[in-house]
Structure 1
Amino acid sequence: MSVCPYLRSRTDGSYECLKTGSDVNPFIAPCLATYSECPYFKLEIVEERKEEEVKEEVEEKEEVVVKEEKPYTRVEEIENWISSLDNMWRRYEKEAIKVIEEWHKYRQELLRKLSSMNRVIKDYETELNEVEARRELGMIDGDIYERLIDDLNRTLEELRKDRDELDNIIRRIDTMLEPHYRRVRPSFARPSPSKIKLGLLKLEELYKAGKIEKEVYEKLKKELEEDYAIIMG
């Protein structure tokens, strides 16, 4: 037989309802098989359910609070990204310096070739002027003059075309490398201030002697002066 959990018997044979604290006759009141119909029992069940719901809500709130106590969960992820960037930068810096150094060596070779081509062009221009002068002075006849002028102009056209092509190549690669050079320039070993001053003097001599073009002179002078300013702070 089912008995209400709130029913207690006394030593004197009477019965007490723990929920109400009063005497009860279980044979009249629904304290036995039908105790689930008792209004006091039903009220207790409702209160227990409310307590359980409140407890669950509190537990959920506590869980949320615990999650909010970790506001730096992405720090490690960001640090890993930064480490990856550092590694990529070191690889890029190494490769960029290698390419720039190779270009600087080859560039000197091309500049020497360019200067040589300019000297040859000037020689042909001088010869062309000489032929013009000889024609004016009547030192050569018309047929020879025409033939010489045609040959000289044709040769000059080819030389200037080759010279301009080489000059454009140097300019193009300089332009392509310029942003990379600016990024890694602090990593290059810089000469001492005295060596930079000596370099500036030598640069002036090369320019005055006509061994380098004005544009090359100005570019190198600017780089040397910038290096000097950086070293001197």
Structure 2
Amino acid sequence: MAPYHIRKYQESDRKWVLTLFCSGMEEHIPTTFYHILRLPRTFLLLLGVPVTLLLVYGSWILASGCICILLFFLWFIAKYPWRLYVATCLRTDLADITKSYLSSRNSCFWVAECGGRVVGMVGALPVKDPPLGKKQLELLHMSVALEHRGKGIAKALVRTVLQFARDQGYSEVVLGTTMLQQGALALYQGMGFQKTGQSFFTIFRRLTAMPTFQLIYYLSTGQKVGL
């Protein structure tokens, strides 16, 4: 296994980071599509509309064409939330990573490098309006290239954030992940994050039954994050 090391982001990493981020989000589209297909309302749509057309017009060709059009539409629907999220991030915090994450001692952005290329990434920003008496750090954009998974890179990136949070005096690390990202959810919970709730940030997510889970990691005073 080729060695990797984690370091702070540099401007020369920008192309690698954005490519990794975009490809990581694209990976969720097929999972989202299959999730939508399994919804009862989707089954009724795919069955009801073609059958209605068949009964009214008596055409199998029309009914089959309708199914193809509906499947294409559902694929577009599956892409929508991820494309929107990417577009939003590229014009906000990822538009200038150095400014967003490295202009203050209370935030940071790291990359995992292997063989001279960036294969993993994670960012951390302070929560703007934390609960009274809490100092929270938010873990953001954790991603590892598909071909480099299973090597412990994701865990190392999370531990890096946790240790940074402890060193900076944060009391909690928080993050959000969708119910479709089962691998990420299992990773975080296996490392000690606790699920605190779920929410639907858009009507689309509510209609497609895709909640975002909120997770939290409690950092006690003097706690050392195991490596």
TM-score per shorter chain, which class? under 0.3
- TM (norm. structure 2) is 0.27
Which structure shows the higher helix fraction? 1
- TM (norm. structure 1) is 0.27
Using CA pairs below 8 Å that are at least 6 residues apart, which structure has the higher relative contact order?
A: 2
- The structure having more radius of gyration, on CA atoms, is 1
Which structure shows the higher strand fraction? 2
